[in-house]
Chains A and B, each alone.
Chain A
Amino acid sequence: AQKVTQAQTEISVVEKEDVTLDCVYETRDTTYYLFWYKQPPSGELVFLIRRNSFDEQNEISGRYSWNFQKSTSSFNFTITASQVVDSAVYFCALSFYNAGNMLTFGGGTRLMVKP
């Protein structure tokens, strides 16, 4: 069975601080995808990133960066110089590409960025 754990339920930072959201996953499969989604107060799910299990390179996209470490089964997400617009719930998720790509979501981390 697969499982995604986001231990931080809520994080509060002041604007311009860096913040890291943790994600730990469990799976027996060797081929899988990891995702991060953002859910702003309006409620939609906004895709941020997808990594496959064979690609452990870290990725940077503007103020966002992701650290994938298979050795610790973690896929952490860092926002540099946070802004108020980053306030949202962030979900980490896991899927098995060859099994119909169903997503298993973590419980989410609510990030509040204060001005």
Chain B
Amino acid sequence: EPEVTQTPSHQVTQMGQEVILRCVPISNHLYFYWYRQILGQKVEFLVSFYNNEISEKSEIFDDQFSVERPDGSNFTLKIRSTKLEDSAMYFCASWGGQGNTGELFFGEGSRLTVL
């Protein structure tokens, strides 16, 4: 069964450092997403990406964040200068788009710890 894969599974970084989280969505999917879950809290939408550009973003997704699809397979989330409050689990998801089922396929998450 096709799946979304994320790397790294866990990253520890110092405050102020840049972090890149990587995702390989399902190959024929068209929409890509990043969600965040602070420990013990709900899952929150960060950004959606379609046709090589951001289609929607939440207020959490400020100038410290950026996303990119550098090649045909990877989808990355960059945090430019990490803060303590960026510590969370980050989930990548993908969707096939209109004409497909409404199910988003989630990766297993990347846990980011900012010290």
A contacts, CB < 8 Å to B: 33, 35, 37, 43-45, 47, 50, 52, 91, 93, 95, 97-108
Give the secondary structure class of B's interface.
strand
16 sampled A-B residue pairs with Cβ under 8 A: A35-B103, A37-B106, A43-B108, A43-B111, A44-B106, A45-B106, A47-B103, A52-B102, A91-B42, A97-B98, A100-B31, A100-B56, A101-B31, A105-B44, A107-B42, A108-B42
Interchain CA distance A100-B53 in the complex, whole Å:
13
**Which listed residue (B50, B89, B104, B108) contacts A103, Cβ 8 A?**
B104
Cβ of B109 within 8 Å of any chain A Cβ, yes or no, is: yes
Cβ of B95 within 8 Å of any chain A Cβ, yes or no, is: yes
Cβ of B76 within 8 Å of any chain A Cβ, yes or no, is: no
**Which listed residue (B42, B102, B111) contacts A101, Cβ 8 A?**
B102
Contacts A105-B42, A106-B42; A50 near B106 (Cβ below 8 A) = no
